[in-house]
Amino acid sequence: MTTLEQAIGHSQHRNPLSRIMGQQVFWVFLAAVIACVTLSLITDTFATERNLFNVTRNFAFVGIIAIGMMVVIASGGIDLSVGASVVLSAVVIGATMEQGWPLWAGIVFALGAALIVGLVNGLLIAFLGMPPFVVTLGMLSFARSMALVLSNNKMIYEFGPDHELLLALGGGSTFGLPHPLIVMVILAVIMGFILKWTRWGQHIFAIGGNESASILTGISVRGMKVSVYMFSAFTAGLAGILMVGWLGSVTTNLGTAMELTVIAAAVIGGANLAGGEGTVFGAVVGALLIEVIRNSLILLGISTFWQGAFIGVFIVVAVGLDRVRRLRGDD
């Protein structure tokens, strides 16, 4: 039987390489790198400037929302309404700018709409004790319905005097880097710092690891839960704004089934669905792997309908490997 002192000593004497290789995100990142190298060798189009630009831009949308989803999962919750928040924020900024409002006003209204979705989710979950799955599933339907009502289920493609600014925001680039990627990197750096070095970040993992103990230590669990769901909705709203700028139009099917993709990205990147674990880098790497899979299917001439199958397999494998790692750690 291993004593506590032996376990501590074993942990302290593990070399840095062993610790890195013991992380799920390391193997996911390695898989993404191997996939990229392989595709570069067997296809003539993957490593082209245009395709790499598309890959980085597309995975940035998922990565932005996956960061928010990871925070929710780390706190012990789940948010199924992010796809609806995407389309609601997209419709709001589109409808606002169509009426002649400037870009900044459209962004404020769009993010405000998304934050309201997160606020309602958080209040119902934190103060009424309703299950996150039920609340966010209901909000998915409600928010998407509101998007249909606001747009009258019509495409919005005219954005007033700041039309070109919006298109540049979501579809443009700086120094060859797509703007959504730049936004994702900035968000990832900020959140990486916050989660590691601030009380808010530490409390998220504490709540996800043991909510009862967190309450006893004086953490405002209810307030934390509200803030977590608001942050998740904020990232979805931010992605929705950027998507409108990239597409140049707003359709009500935007963000459909996106909640499944971002949950997959967070879980594949090492977030524990039971709560208490997860990293920003892992969420981003998970999003990258999913986009590489999608892009590879297209380049290899394989139906994209297979994407869901591959993602499902990766989720099960990721959770299974994490379970094996935990059992070995317990031994």
Confidence label for 297 from pLDDT (cuts 50, 70 and 90)? confident
Confidence label for 270 from pLDDT (cuts 50, 70 and 90)? confident
Q: Which of the pair, 299 or 87, is modelled with greater confidence?
A: 87
Q: Does residue 116 fall inside a structural domain?
A: yes
Q: Does residue 3 fall inside a structural domain?
A: no
pLDDT in tens, 52-82: 999 999 999 999 999 999 999 999 999 999 9
Task: Report the CATH number that the domain containing residue 60 is assigned in CATH.
Answer: 1.10.3470
Q: Does residue 175 fall inside a structural domain?
A: yes
For residue 206, give its domain range.
25-32+47-330
Q: Is the dihedral of CA 18, 190, 166, 256 positive or negative?
A: positive
Six-digit token pair at 320?
Answer: 């299974």
Q: Does residue 15 fall inside a structural domain?
A: no
Query: Which residues have a Cβ under 8 Å from the Cβ of 52 and sit 6 or more positions away?
Result: 46
Confidence label for 11 from pLDDT (cuts 50, 70 and 90)? very low
Q: Does residue 319 fall inside a structural domain?
A: yes
- Are 287 and 279 spatial neighbours (Cβ–Cβ below 8 Å)? no
How many whole angstroms separate alpha carbon 243 and alpha carbon 266?
Answer: 20
How many whole angstroms separate alpha carbon 100 and alpha carbon 163?
Answer: 10
Q: Does residue 17 fall inside a structural domain?
A: no
Which pLDDT score is estimated for 22?
66
> Rounded mean pLDDT of 129-147?
96
* pTM for the predicted model, two decimal places: 0.90
Which pLDDT score is estimated for 274?
85
Which pLDDT score is estimated for 248?
94
> Rounded mean pLDDT of 242-266?
92
- Are 72 and 263 spatial neighbours (Cβ–Cβ below 8 Å)? no
Six-digit token pair at 222?
Answer: 């209810």
How many whole angstroms separate alpha carbon 192 and alpha carbon 196?
Answer: 6
Q: What is the CA radius of gyration of the chain?
A: 21
- Are 111 and 237 spatial neighbours (Cβ–Cβ below 8 Å)? yes
Closest CA to 79 of 183, 227, 281: 227
The rounded percent of the chain whose pLDDT value lies above 70 is: 90
> Rounded mean pLDDT of 141-155?
94
Q: Does residue 38 fall inside a structural domain?
A: no
Confidence label for 4 from pLDDT (cuts 50, 70 and 90)? very low
Confidence label for 7 from pLDDT (cuts 50, 70 and 90)? very low
Confidence label for 14 from pLDDT (cuts 50, 70 and 90)? low
Lowest mean pLDDT among 143-147, 149-153, 195-199, 306-310: 306-310
- Lookup result for tokens 């004790």: 129
Which pLDDT score is estimated for 62?
96
- Are 65 and 237 spatial neighbours (Cβ–Cβ below 8 Å)? no
Q: Does residue 2 fall inside a structural domain?
A: no
Residue 2 has pLDDT above 60, yes or no: no
Q: Which residues pair with 173 in a beta bridge?
A: 178
- Are 77 and 130 spatial neighbours (Cβ–Cβ below 8 Å)? no
State residue 94 phi and psi, 5-degree precision.
-65, -45
Closest CA to 172 of 295, 249, 57, 46: 57
Closest CA to 61 of 173, 183, 201: 183
- Are 28 and 271 spatial neighbours (Cβ–Cβ below 8 Å)? no
Q: How many domains does the chain have?
A: 1
The rounded percent of the chain whose pLDDT value lies above 90 is: 67
Lowest mean pLDDT among 119-133, 153-167, 288-302: 288-302
pLDDT in tens, 23-63: 778 878 888 899 899 989 888 888 899 999 999 999 999 99
- Are 262 and 284 spatial neighbours (Cβ–Cβ below 8 Å)? no
Which pLDDT score is estimated for 189?
97
